[in-house]
Amino acid sequence: MTELVLLRCYDAAGGGTNGELFLRVCSTIELPWQDNARNVSCIPEGRYALQKRVSAKHKSHFTVTDVPGRSGILIHPANDALTQLQGCIAPVTRLTGAGKGSDSQLANERLKALLAPAVLNNEEIFLTIKKQFV
């Protein structure tokens, strides 16, 4: 399944509507913002390089690099941010509540499959995190 997502920003003065079009891979869950405090906060908005990593605990996954004041930020499966994350990002197939989702392992596999060609070609991969205005 391929799904495009258009994030819109409406002009209050009526001048037009701007947006960005994304290829939706999955949703994500993270801890709440706690001033970037280690192990208890999501990371700041910004642009970060991703690197493929393998560990015994999370197997094949990605790490988010150059986070100000932080290290060891991973993208790995989890379905409950408060009980399973320590500042990392978890892909989920479906959001089920604030900081909660389902089928994270499946979403993580989709993400890895999407990024696999870039990894094989040694291309840089970036993640941009920005606020979405609702």
Res 110: pLDDT? 93
Structure tokens given for 81: 């941010």
Domain boundaries, the chain: 26-129
Res 21: pLDDT? 79
Res 104: pLDDT? 96
- Give bridge partners of residue 102 from the DSSP assignment: 94
Which residues of the chain, if any, have pLDDT below 50? none
Report the phi/psi class of residue 117: left, alpha or beta, with left for phi > 0 and alpha for psi in -120 to 50: alpha
Q: Model confidence over 88-126: pLDDT tens digits?
A: 999 999 999 999 999 999 999 999 999 999 999 999 999
pTM of the model: 0.87
